[in-house]
């Protein structure tokens, strides 16, 4: 199927996603980091803000290369540790939502410029985006290792699937996903 035949569907799909995002309560996505392995595993897949962020990481990695994933891992560990130690960041929920948009914008800007983006700069942005989200979970975690293990495995699965799919898809699909992410993060921030 050609991209041009799917173009008329882009606006309705984006609008539907936007309405879905508005009906969710992103502030409630953080608050269950102590309920065991299955809850930890399912959160990255059923927590909309978490899933969108991880799809963004997979998209950036598909566009830039797998090295970006090392930055994401460092950001996840650093954010979780800082949050677990009581670290705080004013407006962290808002920043977590806007981090989704930032990942989409990175892909769009890099693709539009036609230049190869710098791995260090993009990797640092990915690490910070993940760190903010992990910080929120670190703040609410009660120390249950099983939740963290489940969340790590669920997150890895979400990134791996999005990376694998977008790596094999035509670049146009990565651009479409990036545009949806750019809009979705802003919608979540307002929600």
Segment 34-87, tens digit of pLDDT: 578 888 898 889 889 999 999 999 999 998 889 999 999 999 999 999 998 988
| Regions of the chain where pLDDT drops below 70 | 1-34, 113-116, 142-143
Structure tokens at 31: 């608050």
**Which residues are within 8 A (CB) of 24 and not within 5 positions of it... i.e. 6 or more apart?**
48, 49, 188, 191
Rounded to 5 degrees, what are φ and ψ at 12?
-60, -40
**Local structure of 111: helix, strand or coil:** helix
**Whole-number pLDDT of residue 4:** 53
pLDDT of residue 74: 96
Per-residue model confidence (pLDDT) at position 160? 95
pLDDT of 77 = 94
With residues binned 3-state (H G I as helix, E B as strand, rest as coil), the percentages for the chain, rounded to 5, are 80, 0, 20
Is 43 in contact with 144 (CB distance < 8 Å)? no
**Residue 185 corresponds to which tokens in the numbers above?**
């993060």
Domain spans in the chain, listed from the N-terminal domain onward: 33-190
pLDDT value of position 33: 52
Nearest by Cα to 184 from 124, 103, 130 = 103
User: Which pTM does this prediction carry?
Assistant: 0.80
In this predicted structure, what is the pLDDT of residue 23?
Answer: 42
């Amino acid at each position: 199927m050609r991209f041009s035949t799917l173009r008329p569907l882009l606006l309705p799909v984006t609008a539907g996603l936007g309405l879905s995002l508005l009906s969710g309560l992103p502030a409630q996505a953080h608050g269950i980091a102590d309920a065991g392995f299955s809850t930890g595993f399912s959160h990255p897949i059923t927590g909309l803000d978490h899933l969108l962020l991880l799809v963004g990481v997979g998209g950036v990695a598909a566009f830039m290369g797998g090295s970006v994933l090392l930055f994401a891992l460092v950001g996840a560990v650093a954010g979780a540790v800082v949050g677990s130690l009581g670290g705080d960041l004013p407006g962290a929920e808002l920043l977590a939502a806007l981090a989704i948009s930032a990942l989409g914008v990175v892909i769009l800007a890099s693709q539009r410029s036609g230049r190869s983006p710098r791995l260090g700069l993009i990797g640092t942005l990915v690490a910070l985006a993940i760190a903010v989200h992990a910080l929120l979970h670190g703040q609410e975690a009660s120390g249950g290792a099983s939740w963290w293990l489940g969340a790590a495995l669920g997150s890895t699965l979400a990134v791996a699937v999005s990376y694998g799919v977008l790596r094999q898809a035509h670049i146009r699909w990565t651009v479409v996903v990036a545009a949806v992410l750019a809009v979705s993060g802003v919608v979540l921030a307002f929600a």
